[in-house]
Amino acid sequence: MEPLIELRGVNKHYGTLHVLRDINLTVGRGEVVVVIGPSGSGKSTLCRIINRLETVESGTITLAGRNLPAEGKELARLRAEVGMVFQAFNLFGHKTVLANVMLAPLKVRGQKKDKAQARALDLLERVGLADQAAKYPAQLSGGQQQRVAIARALAMDPEALLFDEPTSALDPEMISEVLEVMRQLAQEGMTMVVVTHEMGFARSAANRVVFMAEGQIVEDRTPEEFFTAPESDRAKDFLSKILKH
Ligand SMILES: Nc1ncnc2c1ncn2[C@@H]1O[C@H](COP(=O)(O)OP(=O)(O)O)[C@@H](O)[C@H]1O
Ligand SMILES: [Mg+2]
C-alpha cells in the first residue's frame, strides 16, 4: 500500500511535558486508522501536528512523500490536502450552510462562485443536507452541523481527513448519522485518521486501531486483534473501562 501520511521519530513537548514520544506512524492511501486512548494521551496533539497546527521538535512528517514545511505558501497548500473535523463544529454562525461549505474553495482556491456553489450543493447532498443549504448553523441540530463541517472539509478535495472526536459533543441520537457519513467516506476510499471513543465504528470501519498512552503508540493492530486480544496492560485496562458501560 502506498503510504500517504508518514511520521518518523516525532517528538513534541509542551514546556516540560513530553506529549508525543518517538511517534512512528504510517497511514496508507485509502486506509482508516482509528486512534484511541485515555484523555491526555496525546491524540489531539497527534492530529494537530499532522496538520501542522502545531510544530514538532524532532522527527519528520511527510504527506505523499513530501516533507511538510513549517510555514509559508507550500504549507498552506499541503494543509489544504489534509482536512480536519473537530469536536466543536467551528462553522461561521453568520453565514449560511451553503456559504460555509463554499468559503474555502472561494477564498483559498480562488474558485469561481458558480463552480464552488455547485460543488457545495453536491457535497451537502452527499451528507444528506441539500435541503438545509439556505439555513444558518444555529438552525441545525448538532449532528447536522457536524455533517456540514464534514462537507466543508471535503470541499477542498483533501487527500486525507482527520477527525478529532467528531461525535463527542453530540447527543446520543445524533451520533449515528455522523458515523454513517464517515463510514460511507471510508467505503469510498477516503484516507482517514479518526480519534474516537466509538468502538463500534472502530470495529466496523477501521483497518487499524492505534492505541496511545502517555504520548506513545502502545499498540497498532487490526481492530479484530486489538479488541479480542489486546497485548498491553494499559490497553486491557482502557478497554475494560470503556466497554463496561
Ligand atoms: N496547548 C497546550 N499547552 C500545554 N499543554 C497542552 C496543550 N495542549 C495539550 N496539552 C497537554 O498535552 C497532553 C496531551 O493532550 P491532548 O493531545 O489534547 O490529549 P488527548 O487528545 O489524548 O486528550 C495533555 O496532558 C494536555 O493537558
Ligand atoms: Mg483530545
Q: Please tell me the predicted confidence (pLDDT) of residue 69.
A: 73
Q: Please tell me the predicted confidence (pLDDT) of residue 160.
A: 96
Q: Please tell me the predicted confidence (pLDDT) of residue 245.
A: 60
In angstroms, the CA 197 to CA 214 distance is 17
Region of residue 134 (left: phi > 0; alpha: psi -120 to 50; beta: else)? alpha
User: b vs e for 123-137, b when ≥16 Cβ sit within 10 Å of the residue's Cβ?
Assistant: bbebbebeebbeebb
Helix axes 97-107, 142-154, angle to 10 degrees: 20
In angstroms, the CA 119 to CA 101 distance is 9
Cα 136 to middle of ligand 2, angstroms:
27
Q: What is the pLDDT of residues 78-125, one digit of tens each?
A: 778 899 999 998 999 999 999 999 999 999 889 999 999 999 999 999
Q: Cβ < 6 Å from ligand 1: which residues?
A: 14, 17, 19, 37, 39-45
Instruction: Tell me which residues of the chain have a pLDDT lower than 70.
Output: 245
Which atom of ligand 1 is found nearest the CA of 41? 22
Q: Please tell me the predicted confidence (pLDDT) of residue 79.
A: 77
In angstroms, the CA 132 to CA 137 distance is 9
Atom 25, ligand 1: residue with shortest CA distance = 40
Q: 192 in helix, strand or coil?
A: strand
Q: Please tell me the predicted confidence (pLDDT) of residue 28.
A: 97
Cα 48 to middle of ligand 1, angstroms:
11
Q: What is the pLDDT of residues 189-212, one digit of tens each?
A: 999 999 999 999 999 999 999 999
Nearest residue to 151 via CA among 95, 91, 64, 195: 91
In angstroms, the CA 118 to CA 239 distance is 44
Which atom of ligand 1 is found nearest the CA of 45? 17
Region of residue 210 (left: phi > 0; alpha: psi -120 to 50; beta: else)? beta
Which atom of ligand 1 is found nearest the CA of 165? 21
